[in-house]
Chain A
Amino acid sequence: METTIERKANTKPAPAALRRRKRSWADIAIHAVLILLTIGTLFPFYNVLIMSFSDSAAVSKQVVYLIPTTFKTTAYSYIFQEPRFLKAFLVTLFVTVVGTSVNLIVTLTGAYVLAKKGYPGRGIVMSGIIFTMFFNGGLIPFYLTMKNLHLINNLFVMVLPVAVNTFYLMICIAFFRTLPAGLEESAKIDGANDIQVFYKIALPVSKPMIATIALFYAVDRWNEWWYGVLFMTDVNLLPLQALLRELLTNYAQVLSGITTSVRFQDSGLYPEMLKMAVLVVSALPIVCLYPFMQRYFAKGVLIGSIKG
């Protein structure tokens, strides 16, 4: 009986549902594997979380790894008082907000034009872009170019050189191609030029796609660490993830740099707790955004995979 109810509840039965008869050993095995994988995926996150909320006594006795024994916010209150973490947070915020805006402007305008046909030069630009997916100058020439453009120790080095992600551009092009030509024609008859058609007609009807791309870009900008490591010699300009990296690999130096006072020793902090708390804060926006992203990305990837 149970299976009949289940089948009715599914508006769109999966292929597997159609060939299903009764619960078999295979089903049990499949679920066992998937549940184990779920635990395996989530457990390391859980572990980090309880570490960040523990206290130094518990950490030094190594009893916090499986079951939380304490709930202290010492590490978090320390982070939010420490100027260096605040600076890194502001840098990352700037890169995420300004970077994502630049990403959207440059990517969407380009994709809109490249989705069209029948104007001179499209083919050349398109092949020029595709070529960059398979060949680039490499690290040193890229570094020297940034130096020539005076982007070293400049926050825009984490914005401009990554203004377009070619893969996302391809997704946008594929999407704009699906828009009906009639929309544009009627606007043109009313006297609109291409720019007006773009922002008055094409953009408003593309909201779901724009949301997807915006989320992808926002995650990428938030996760920026490499250009911070490579191009920032001024520690005040490091993004949060680059600071976290330093804290993880070289924490003694970072702490000596930021803690001239005795506040750190007094606070009852254990380095592991601090690392884990910074880690949680760095991952938090992704955790919050994820449910919204999840709705879109499968579709986005599908379009990209066919056309890209």
Chain B
Amino acid sequence: MEKRFGKEIYKSRYLYILLLPTVLFYVLFQYFPMYGVLLAFKEYHIREGILRSPWIGMNNFEELVKQSEFWRAFRNTIIISVGRIVLEFPAAIALALLINEVVRQKLKKFYQTVYTFPHFISWVIVSGIMFNFLSNDGVLNQIIAALGFGKQTFLTDPGLFRPIIFLSNIWKEIGWSAIIYLAAIAGINPELYEAARVDGAGRWQQLRAITWPSIRGTAAILLILAVGNAMNGGFDQIFNLYNPGVYATGDIIDTYVYRAAFSDGSSFGVTTAVGLFKAVLNFALLYGANYMVKKLGGEGLV
């Protein structure tokens, strides 16, 4: 038995050579950092390194829950994530259904091309576009002024920050999110529609009886993934758009960790504890969402 196993490995030796770089990548850059989460239970001393720094049990977590800034970031993360799911999820599905109603293929393709484009632009560039659009002398304020209203400080108003976050993410990602639904719709057998039409179903009825049921599974999987990401809140977008004026409504866990560790010089142990807290919660949410979808009769992810 052992001999055969060795022979199998020898037979596949070239495969292992090909696989080696990939395995090395995951070990070095994914698994190696994972042992760093030990820091959450240690007091980090630069000279001692992670392994030799002293254990301090749950102290980092205790210190964390005392910080009001952490709780603010936690609350903001949840509110923003829930907002994203509630607003951006249906928007993508609605757009896919709208595009699907366009008959001419060339026009359909044109719309898709336009809406998908912003996805490939980085959040740095998008933030530049938004500063230009929303600044005090920006085009939006010019229009507002031309209509006879007072200028708005869009980017420093904490009350407007979340709506701007939701809207700009819809602007950037809706076309990309819609593609996956359009692909699912394209896979529907056209005979189903013909049969429905013969039975006298109108456009709306066809949408409800054929199109929607066939993309529901895709939507469920994407929903599970979105819930499993809820503690992330969209670092790239917020980091590039926020400023101290909107911390009250816009500071999320990831931006808080970055600031605490690299600008405010907070301890690496405490900030690692935040990271671990977040990762564990994400994991639990993923499984929770998966369980719920399965319970409701859908097909889960895992």
CA–CA, A66 and B15, complex, Å: 59
Contact status B25-A164, CB under 8 Å: yes
Contact status A65-B105, CB under 8 Å: no
Given contact pairs A16-B103, A135-B279, A135-B283, enumerate 6 new A-B contacts (beta carbons under 8 Å): A12-B105, A38-B114, A44-B171, A137-B35, A282-B124, A298-B179
Q: Looking at the complex, which one of A14, A45, A120, A137 makes contact with B12 (CB distance below 8 Å)?
A: A120
Which residues from chain A contact B272 at a C-beta distance below 8 Å? 138, 140-141
Contact status B22-A110, CB under 8 Å: yes
Contact status A138-B17, CB under 8 Å: no
Quick one: CB contact mask for B18-60 with A, threshold 8 Å, 1 for yes? 1101110110111111111101000000000010000000000
Contact status A194-B183, CB under 8 Å: no
Give the nearest-CB partner of B275 in chain A. A138
Which residues from chain B contact A132 at a C-beta distance below 8 Å? 26, 30-31
Contact status A305-B113, CB under 8 Å: no
Contact status A109-B18, CB under 8 Å: yes
CA–CA, A6 and B188, complex, Å: 22
CA–CA, A266 and B95, complex, Å: 49
Q: Looking at the complex, which one of A51, A119, A244 makes contact with B124 (CB distance below 8 Å)?
A: A244
Which residues from chain A contact B286 at a C-beta distance below 8 Å? 134
Closest 4 CB pairs of A and B: A141-B36, A138-B275, A110-B22, A137-B33
Some 21 contacts from A to B, beta carbons below 8 A apart, are: A19-B203, A20-B103, A30-B102, A34-B111, A48-B132, A51-B132, A106-B22, A106-B25, A120-B9, A134-B282, A137-B275, A138-B275, A139-B271, A140-B36, A140-B271, A145-B33, A164-B22, A198-B18, A241-B125, A248-B124, A275-B131
Contact status B34-A137, CB under 8 Å: yes
State which residues 231-258 of A face B: CB under 8 Å: 241-242, 244-245, 248
Which residues from chain A contact B71 at a C-beta distance below 8 Å? none
Q: Looking at the complex, which one of B5, B182, B206 makes contact with A298 (CB distance below 8 Å)?
A: B182
Q: Does A144 contact B (CB under 8 A)?
A: yes
Q: Looking at the complex, which one of A14, A37, A44, A141 makes contact with B133 (CB distance below 8 Å)?
A: A44
Which residues from chain A contact B15 at a C-beta distance below 8 Å? 113, 116, 119, 194
Which residues from chain B contact A261 at a C-beta distance below 8 Å? none
Which residues from chain A contact B132 at a C-beta distance below 8 Å? 44, 47-48, 51, 272, 275-276
Quick one: CB contact mask for B240-275 with A, threshold 8 Å, 1 for yes? 100000000000001001100110000010011011
How many Å from the CB of B197 to the closest CB on chain A? 5
Which residues from chain B contact A48 at a C-beta distance below 8 Å? 128-129, 132
Which residues from chain A contact B34 at a C-beta distance below 8 Å? 135-137, 141
Contact status B108-A14, CB under 8 Å: yes
State which residues 127-169 of A face B: CB under 8 Å: 128-129, 132, 134-145, 149, 160-161, 163-164, 169
Q: Does A13 contact B (CB under 8 A)?
A: yes
Contact status B36-A282, CB under 8 Å: no
Q: Looking at the complex, which one of A114, A128, A141 makes contact with B39 (CB distance below 8 Å)?
A: A141
Q: Looking at the complex, which one of B116, B236, B262 makes contact with A226 (CB distance below 8 Å)?
A: B236
Contact stretch, chosen from A77-85, A93-101, A205-213, A286-294: A286-294
Which residues from chain B contact A57 at a C-beta distance below 8 Å? none
Q: Looking at the complex, which one of B8, B35, B197, B254 makes contact with A119 (CB distance below 8 Å)?
A: B8
Contact status A245-B105, CB under 8 Å: no
Q: Does A112 contact B (CB under 8 A)?
A: yes
Give the nearest-CB partner of A106 in chain B. B21
State which residues 170-206 of A face B: CB under 8 Å: 193-195, 198
How many Å from the CB of B215 to the closest CB on chain A? 11
State which residues 76-124 of B face A: CB under 8 Å: 95, 98-105, 108, 111-118, 120-122, 124
State which size class the interface on A falls in.
Answer: 35 or more
CA–CA, A139 and B270, complex, Å: 12
Dominant secondary structure of chain A at its interface with chain B:
helix
Contact status A141-B278, CB under 8 Å: no
Which residues from chain A contact B129 at a C-beta distance below 8 Å? 44-45, 47-48, 279
Contact status B114-A302, CB under 8 Å: no
Q: Does A283 contact B (CB under 8 A)?
A: yes
How many Å from the CB of A49 to the closest CB on chain B? 10
How many Å from the CB of B105 to the closest CB on chain A? 6
Contact status B133-A138, CB under 8 Å: no
Q: Does B149 contact A (CB under 8 A)?
A: no
Give the nearest-CB partner of A143 in chain B. B261
Determine which residue in B102, B124, B228, B257 has the highest number of CB atoms from chain A within 10 A of its CB, and name it: B124
CA–CA, A124 and B122, complex, Å: 35
How many Å from the CB of A283 to the closest CB on chain B? 5
CA–CA, A250 and B21, complex, Å: 40
Which residues from chain A contact B276 at a C-beta distance below 8 Å? 138
Q: Looking at the complex, which one of A31, A42, A51, A164 makes contact with B26 (CB distance below 8 Å)?
A: A164
Given contacts A38-B114, A137-B37, A248-B127, whether A18 and B180 have CB atoms under 8 Å apart is: no
Give the nearest-CB partner of B271 in chain A. A140
CA–CA, A118 and B39, complex, Å: 39
Contact status B139-A47, CB under 8 Å: yes
Contact status B188-A62, CB under 8 Å: no
Contact status B206-A19, CB under 8 Å: yes
State which residues 259-294 of A face B: CB under 8 Å: 272, 275-276, 279, 282-283, 286, 290, 293-294
Contact status A195-B203, CB under 8 Å: no
Contact status A30-B275, CB under 8 Å: no
How many Å from the CB of B61 to the closest CB on chain A? 14
Q: Does A1 contact B (CB under 8 A)?
A: no
CA–CA, A144 and B275, complex, Å: 14
Contact status B275-A141, CB under 8 Å: yes
